[in-house]
Structure formats: C-alpha cells, structure tokens
Amino acid sequence: MLKKTWKKKLLSLALVSTIAVGGISTVLPEQEVEAKGKPKGKDKAQNVIFLIPDGFSAAYATNYRWYKGEDTVLDSMNIAMQRTYSANSNITDSAAAGTAMATGVKTNNGMISTDPTGKELKTILEETERKGKSSGLVATSTITHATPAAFASHVASRADEADIAPQLLDNDVDVILGGGQKYFTDELIDEAKDEGYQLVTNKRELDRVKKTNKVLGLFAEEGMAPELDREDTQQPSLADMTETAIDTLKKNKNGFFLMVEGSQIDWAGHANDAAWAMKDSEAFEEAVIEAMDFAKKDGNTLVVVAGDHDTGGMSVGGYGNGSANVEMLRDVTATGDYMASKLNKKRTNAKKVLKEYAAIDLTKAEVNAIKNADNPASSINQIISERASVGWTSTGHTGIDIPVYTYGPGSELFTGTMENTDLPVNMAKAMKMNFKPGK
C-alpha cells in the first residue's frame, strides 16, 4: 500500500516535478541536493540499490503522475539525465544498455557484459562481491533476461539464456528472484541447493524466507505475469521480492549491491498497452518505496533509479484531444492480451469484454475495428490509448535521454546530463571503491 508520507510537502519538490515533466536536465542547488538526496553526515554508501524501470522515460513518469493523481516517490528524489545510445546504434537495446549500466563500457546491441570485440567486462556487482559485499538480482522478466543478466554474466548474445543461468550461480549472486524456471535445469537446482540457496516458487514460500543468506526464487516458467493479471497467479509482486531481497542482503555487515528491474514497463511499451504500462509503473513505485524506506532508516544506502531506454515513444496527450485522460486507465483491470484472449472466435463479444475489463462502451466503429483486426490485442490497446489520450510513436525503443533519480550518500554525483556508463562508476565512488571500467 502506498504511503501518504510521499506526498509533496515542499515547494522544491514542485521544481523537481517540472524537471521530470519537461525532460530537462538541471543541477540543483547544493543545499537542495543535500535536503533531497543525501542524509546529513553520511559521505559513504555501504549499500547500493539500483532500480531499473525498463523502457521508462519522462513521458511515463508524467503520465504515471496523472494516473496516480498525486506526486510519486520519484518526484522527491534528486534528478539528472542520461544518454542511452549503444556502441553500434543511437537506439540501444536492453542488453547494451544493461551492459553500460553494469560495466561502464558501451557495447553493441545484443551483447551481455562483453565489449564489441568479445572481451568480458567486469561488472559493478562482481566488484562489490570482491569487496565482501552480498549481491542480489530481482526482475519480473526471466531472471536470465538482458538487464539482470548484464550484472552477473558474460555472453555474446542475450538470447543465450540457458548459458546465463549457471553463471548467476557461478558468480555467487546471493539473492536471485524472478521468472525463468525453464532455464534452470534439475541439475542446476540441485547445485544451488548444495551451495546453500533456499528455493522458493510462489509468494507464500517467499513470505516464509527468514533464516537464510541465499535465496533462489523462480516464480514462472518464463516471464512473470503483468501486474494487471498477477491476481490470477500465486506470484509475488515486485515490492514483495524487493523487500525479501533487502531483508536477506542486509545481514552482511560489509553491505550489499541489489539490482531490481521493473521489466514489464518495457513489454507494455512494446505492446502500446497504456494500462499495463501504468499498472506496472505503480508496481515499480511500490518497490522503490521499499528501497527508500530502508535507505531512510539505514542512512548508509544509495538508491539509484534509472530506466535503460524509452520504449514506444509514449506522449502525454495525443490523438488531437487537447488534454490527457490518463485517470480512466485506473478502471482497466486487464492487459490487451488478456482481453483479446476472452474474445470468442468471431469476436462478437468485444463490447462485453471491453465493458467488463476496461469499463468502456465501445462505439460501433470500435467494435468493427476489433472484429477485423489482424491483431485484436493491438486494436484493443489502440482504442484504450485513444480514450486515455496517451500517444505512441513506435512499438520499439527510441533514443531519447532518460531521467536518473537518486537518494542517499553519493547522490550528489549524479547531476546534469550523463552517459549511462557513468552510473556504475558513480555508484563505486559513492561506496569509496576503485572501479575501472574495462580493466
């Protein structure tokens, strides 16, 4: 449940909201950075929690604020911007972006923590482990997907998920939570148990994790369910997984590094599914709140929130309506894919399905559009986006700059317009670690 303590209390927060809306990078006054980003008297981060809302941009942040109806937890944090291009394209994919954010080195699209020549690159997670810290990876995709993989594996292609899974164990990642059961063979599971991992496969088992330092949670055969559809499963939320990860990792007195990915904001963007995008943004915010609650009590934890790229080219307003109507998405209770699965063979029940799951009355033209569509889910998503006045320019990634939000010791290092390769370097600086990218 979202806490009311995150509502706007200071005029300075309004300035941050303005920055996020316009996508403008600015350097906040020193005293404001101190108040907003760094607890007094703390100059070293013992822990780093890096939360990545995959596909999330300033447009998502703005639409989500309208969807929520009040300021979000991100609006209370220090803000910078990052450039996301890869080594071989001005539009990155998640593999190259994840590699840059994990290693401090640009690589080609599709490559996981190897440089364009194939050389393996040391990651910030691996470096923190060498310093005696614990580590964790959390995602709502397969845990072997591009972004989490970039922090603890090295492969030529992001498609090699079966080769990524054993590397997560070989790298001794202490907490591994997400989907991707299909990539963990019985032999690999037995190996994990022998190495002291507690295996969990549903929310109930995750809630019972207490006296252990190592957890392997695999909650779906492939990716986990979208937040809109999660109630039909026994899967934990992203916030549930984040809370368990922090509670497990904080036992190490040397500190920890935790990466948490809200994977399906990106998937929603690819589908141009505005309701899915907003609901998974909400789930992601709840995970950020878990991290911020811990960081504020702990005083030694740097929290960094940064999407890896924009997906879908979302806009605030669109279709010539002259205003946004994002709040209507609160009444949508299923993804476009799920609604399409409820259509009968001839799609004659489209009006009933959209009324039940999206609380809208379709026009005759909209009913016909769904009936005649090659992809009914896409048609449903377009209709809902038009009703919400959420525009899209693409079903792929775009190359725009992305906001970076920070709180805690070292947050003042994240200012202006940065390269995505600066992120792990600054995290290491905050921890007083000597991290040399590519070395």
- pTM for the complete prediction? 0.90
Would the pLDDT of 27 be above 60?
no
Q: How do residues 164-212 score in pLDDT, each as one tens digit?
A: 999 999 999 999 999 999 999 999 999 999 999 999 999 999 999 988 9
Query: Is the per-residue pLDDT at 320 higher than 80?
Result: no
- Angle made by CA atoms 109, 375, 266, in degrees to the nearest 5: 35
Q: What is the mean pLDDT of residues 114-125?
A: 98
Residue-wise pLDDT for 361-413, tens only, equals 999 999 999 999 999 999 999 999 999 999 999 999 999 999 999 999 999 99
Residue 166 has which token pair?
Answer: 């054993």
Indicate the pLDDT class of residue 12, thresholds 50, 70 and 90: very low
Q: Which residues are catalytic?
A: 94
Contacts of 21 (CB under 8 A, 6+ apart): 58, 61, 62, 316
Question: At a CB cut-off of 8 Å and minimum separation 6, what does 204 contact?
Answer: 234
Whether residue 154 is annotated as binding a ligand: the answer is: no
**Banded pLDDT at 318 (limits 50, 70, 90):** confident
Residue showing tokens 């934890």:
301
Q: Is 309 annotated as a binding residue?
A: yes
Instruction: Check the CA dihedral 404-407-408-409 and report its sign.
Output: positive
Confirm whether residue 301 is marked as ligand binding. Answer: no
Instruction: Tell me the CB-side half-sphere exposure of residue 289, using CA atoms within 13 A.
Output: 18
Q: Which two tokens stand for residue 424?
A: 């792990």
18, pLDDT greater than 60: no
DSSP character string of 314-382:
-EEB-TT-SS--GGGGGG--S-HHHHHHTS-TT-TTHHHHHHHHH-----HHHHHHHHH-SSHHHHHHH
pLDDT score of 383: 97
Banded pLDDT at 37 (limits 50, 70, 90)? low
266 annotated as ligand-binding: yes
308 annotated ligand binder: yes
Give the tokens for residue 293. Answer: 């609650």
- Specify the pLDDT at position 283: 98
Q: How far apart are CA 420 and CA 135, in angstroms?
A: 21
- From CA 15, how far away is CA 22, in angstroms rounded? 11
- Segment 221-260, tens digit of pLDDT: 999 999 999 999 999 999 999 999 999 999 999 999 999 9
In the numeric block, which tokens belong to residue 96?
């190259």
Q: Please, which pLDDT band fits residue 324 given cuts at 50, 70 and 90?
A: confident
Mean pLDDT over each residue of the chain, to the nearest integer: 91
Window from 32-36, 118-122, 412-416 with minimum mean pLDDT: 32-36
* Residue 147 annotated as part of some ligand binding site: yes
Q: pLDDT confidence of 16, banded at 50, 70, 90?
A: very low
C-alpha dihedral over 161, 163, 167, 169, to 10 degrees?
80
Task: Write b or e for each residue in 350-383: b if 16 or more Cβ atoms lie within 10 A of its Cβ, otherwise e.
Answer: bbebbeebbebebeeebbebbeebeebbbbbbbb
